[in-house]
Amino acid sequence: MVVIWSDFAKLNLKNFLTTTLMTKKNSIKYINELVQYVSYLEDQKFLGKVLTKYENIEIYQLIFKEHRIIYFIEDNKIYIISVLHTAQSAESTLKSIKTFFNN
């Protein structure tokens, strides 16, 4: 399995770095830990839980501390759709999924 980060998910991480109240050192450490945690999906693709189905594709969520990692699996590839703060609404999560598939 290989993990593929969408441009939107990468943008989510960049936005976190620019808006967080953490120090730069701590925010970079946090992102590195998040990315490392996501890499466990390569060996344990069902580490997360099914969040919803979108157009017959199971969408999973993986929680890392204060962030929700949204992904799906297709052809032995794990696609990271978005990384959202857990305080964001379910509507924001669904909107990010729809945006990913409609582009």
**pLDDT 10s digits, 11-20:** 999 999 999 9
> What is the pLDDT confidence band of residue 84, given thresholds at 50, 70 and 90?
very high
Q: Does residue 54 surpass a pLDDT of 80?
A: yes
- Average pLDDT over every residue of 34-38: 97
Q: State the pLDDT at residue 96.
A: 82
3-state secondary structure of 68: strand
Mean pLDDT of 13-39: 95
Quick one: pLDDT at residue 77? 96
Q: Does residue 90 register a pLDDT over 80?
A: no
Cβ proximity of 83 and 96 under 8 Å: no
Taking residues 15-40, what's their average pLDDT? 95
Listed in order, strand segments (DSSP E) in the chain are 2-5, 49-54, 57-64, 67-74, 77-85
Topology of domain 2-102, CATH: YaeB-like fold (3.30.2310)
pLDDT band at 87 (very low <50, low <70, confident <90, very high): confident
